[in-house]
């Protein structure tokens, strides 16, 4: 009996064997820009003063939001900001000012409001880096670019702003007017709901599913590449299956009813939403409120992150997509999963 008691005591008080900790997953794809171009404007971060100086020289102010480790920012700096013709156009017509999305430098905006860099980025609702805003002499935002754009597309944007076409038309209409061949068909996918498209939803009468609205155009290399790559991934298909997904030709007069119940054509809705890129995707919740949009070039990790940000409902708790994606990355790595943000 005493022997049994002794064995029981040893078992009871024996230190538990700790489980071997999970090896943290690797973090791949992050890229740091060590030095920004020397032709960026040297500024005291008083944007009203910068705006006045630019106006005196018949130039526009271009504010470039970035963050450390952002591969899309690195691509913009290494490719776009080292393209000879693009740089010449920037130096001639723009004062380029950089601000770090998470930075602590103090600044004063063109309305005299004081912020730190990260406060200003939050105020401007920056969700992606790079984000670029162009200002006219009055401090109005005449064009906003959310995400990376190719050299050719950035050329078109610079021409639009420097020639002050914003006084005559939106960027969407300007860019659409440059397209020579508007014939042809859009890419086909079984995920897309057929017409007619009545997308009405509200707080009182919510829809059963969230909504993803694709805007594309015929003879669009970026659209074709998107369908041949990201839209072929099983993860993309699985995520989009749980949503209502519709597709519009951003150049067409196809009639539709928007989530808030208005009748409009596809091209006018694309214009009204101030979209710049094709394919663009705008995500609405079940109540018809826009949550987030994909209006630039993204690879799989960020694209899937945009969709899960929507589907998970995390947008209700975390208003900043970058913080959400950072938390998601940390959780995956804690489980031993390697994350490649440039894949």
- Residue 114 pLDDT: 98
CA dihedral 136, 140, 142, 145 (to 10 degrees): 110
Which tens digit of pLDDT belongs to each residue from 14-59?
Answer: 554 456 778 999 999 999 998 999 999 999 999 999 999 999 999 9
| pLDDT at 245 (0 to 100) | 98
> Domain-by-domain residue ranges, the chain?
47-168, 211-311
Q: Going by C-beta distance under 8 Å and a sequence separation of 6 or more, which residues neighbour residue 37?
A: 77, 81, 87, 96
Give the CA distances from residue 101 to residues 127, 144, 159, 294, 320, in Å, rounded to whole numbers and listed in that order: 9, 16, 26, 19, 11
Q: Residue 215: beta bridge partners?
A: 248, 280
pLDDT of residue 180: 83
Helix 151-162 crosses helix 84-93 at what angle (to 10 degrees)?
Answer: 20
The gap from C-alpha 198 to its chain's centroid, in whole angstroms, comes to 26
CATH architecture of 47-168: 3-Layer(aba) Sandwich (3.40)
pLDDT confidence of residue 48? 96
Measure the CA–CA gap between 300 and 313, rounded to whole angstroms.
Answer: 20
What is the topology classification, in CATH, of domain 211-311? Glutaredoxin (3.40.30)
| Contacts of residue 171, Cβ cutoff 8 Å, sequence gap at least 6 | 143, 157, 160, 165, 274, 276
pLDDT in tens, 207-241: 999 999 999 999 999 999 999 999 999 999 999 99
| H helix intervals, the chain | 2-13, 47-56, 71-78, 84-93, 117-123, 151-162, 171-177, 221-228, 234-241, 266-272, 300-311, 321-334
pLDDT of residue 193: 98
Residue 182 is predicted with a pLDDT of 85
Q: Do domains 47-168 and 211-311 have the same CATH topology?
A: yes
Using DSSP, state whether 227 is helix, strand or coil: helix
Residues of the chain with pLDDT under 50: 3-8, 10-13, 16-17
Please tell me the predicted confidence (pLDDT) of residue 2: 53
Q: How many helices (H) and strands (E) does the chain have?
A: 12, 14
């Amino acid at each position: 009996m005493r022997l049994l008691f002794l064995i029981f005591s040893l078992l009871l008080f024996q230190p538990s064997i700790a489980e071997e900790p999970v090896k943290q997953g690797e973090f791949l794809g992050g890229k740091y820009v060590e030095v920004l171009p020397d032709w960026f404007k040297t500024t005291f971060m008083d944007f009203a003063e910068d705006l006045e100086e630019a106006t005196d020289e018949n130039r526009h102010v271009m504010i470039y939001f970035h963050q450390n480790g952002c591969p899309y920012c690195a691509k913009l700096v290494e490719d776009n900001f080292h393209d000879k013709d693009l740089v010449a156009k920037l130096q001639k017509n723009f004062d380029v000012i950089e601000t770090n999305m998470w930075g602590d430098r103090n600044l004063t905006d063109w309305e005299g409001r004081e912020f730190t860099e990260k406060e200003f980025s939050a105020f401007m609702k920056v969700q992606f880096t790079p984000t670029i805003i162009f200002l006219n002499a009055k401090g109005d935002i005449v064009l906003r670019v959310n995400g990376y754009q190719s050299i050719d597309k950035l050329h078109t944007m610079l021409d639009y702003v420097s020639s002050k076409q914003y006084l005559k038309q939106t960027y969407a209409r300007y860019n659409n007017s440059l397209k020579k061949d508007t014939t042809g068909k859009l890419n086909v996918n079984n995920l897309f709901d057929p017409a007619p498209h009545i997308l009405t939803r509200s707080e009182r009468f919510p829809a059963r599913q969230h909504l993803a609205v694709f805007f594309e155009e015929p003879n669009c290399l970026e659209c074709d590449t998107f369908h041949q790559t990201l839209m072929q991934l099983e993860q993309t298909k699985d995520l989009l299956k749980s949503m209502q997904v519709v597709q519009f030709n951003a150049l067409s007069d196809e009639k539709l009813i928007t989530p808030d119940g208005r009748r409009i054509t596809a091209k006018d809705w694309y214009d009204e939403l101030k979209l710049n890129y094709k394919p663009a995707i705008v995500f609405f919740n079940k109540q018809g409120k826009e949550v987030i949009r994909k209006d630039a070039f993204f690879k799989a990790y960020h694209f899937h992150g945009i969709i899960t940000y929507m589907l998970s409902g995390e947008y209700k708790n975390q208003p900043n997509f970058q913080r959400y994606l950072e938390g998601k990355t940390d959780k995956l790595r804690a489980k031993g999963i390697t994350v490649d943000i440039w894949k």
